[in-house]
Structure 1
Amino acid sequence: MSLTSLTCFIRYQIDPFQREAFRHYAEAWGRIIPRCGGNLIGYFLPHEGSNDVAWGLIGFDSLAGYERYRATLKTDPEGCANFEFAQARRLILREERTWLEDVASTLNLTRELTP
């Protein structure tokens, strides 16, 4: 079975006192990830409940697309600077990645408004 679309689901444990620094980090990825070939679905900060867990979701057409993205990202000056920013600030305490196969018929559905 070949996968046509994958999502990298990233769970971050962040320093809750550096929430705004993580926001800055995530906003930078909003410029970098699409330029390097990923489909940024979004970053999400804690709102209620746990105050130290954030999420990032990035889509790819295939594992080969992900590998191309990673190679491009390693040479992207802004991407390298963003990694260095996070390391210098120590705002990410732990990072976990899970790969998910997209169920295409369920993506980007919106509620239909009735008159």
Structure 2
Amino acid sequence: MVTCFIRYQIDPFQREAFKTYAENWGRIIPRCGGHLLGYFLPHEGTNDIAWGLIGFDNLAAYERYRARLRDDAEGRANFAFAQDARFILREERSFVDTVGGTFCQVPQMRT
């Protein structure tokens, strides 16, 4: 799996707008073929950095997703919402590989 790791610098005074934007992706991304791992808002510490993580089987699957996303009316509307409201100040994308044996590990309870 390859993961698209998106780092956002957001307007901290428009946190709720970014939250709405992220929640919208919760419907759009899976429909277009991405495995949404989650969006994350700052909780403590730096108040203007948020993240989104989307998984794909490979880069070819990512390219198919991008093509579907361009054709998705709700996806285009969500991008327009962000541009109009200007709550995203900067966006950076990195693609990372999953390290085997570390992904989605859950704590093991001791008895």
Identity of aligned residues (%): 68
* TM-score, scaled to structure 1: 0.95
Q: Corresponding residue for 2:105?
A: 109
> Hey, what's the Cα distance between the residues in 1 that align with 2:100 and 2:33?
20
| Aligned-pair CA distance for 1:113 | 1.2
Q: Work out the number of aligned pairs and report it.
A: 111
Whether 1:26 aligns to 2:41 is no
Please list the CA deviations of residues 48-83 of structure 1 after superposition, one character each: whole Å capped at 9, or x if unmatched: 111100000000000000000000000001000000
Give the gaps of 5 or more residues in structure 1: none
> Hey, what's the Cα distance between the residues in 2 that align with 1:6 and 1:34?
15
Name the SS of the counterpart of 1:100 in structure 2.
Answer: strand
> Hey, what's the Cα distance between the residues in 2 that align with 1:13 and 1:33?
21
- State the Cα RMSD in Å: 0.6
Whether 1:60 aligns to 2:46 is no
Runs of 4 or more, structure 1, over 3 Å off, are none
Q: Corresponding residue for 1:46?
A: 42
Please give the residue correspondences for 1:8-23 in structure 2 after superposition, counting only pairs within 5 Å: 8-23=4-19
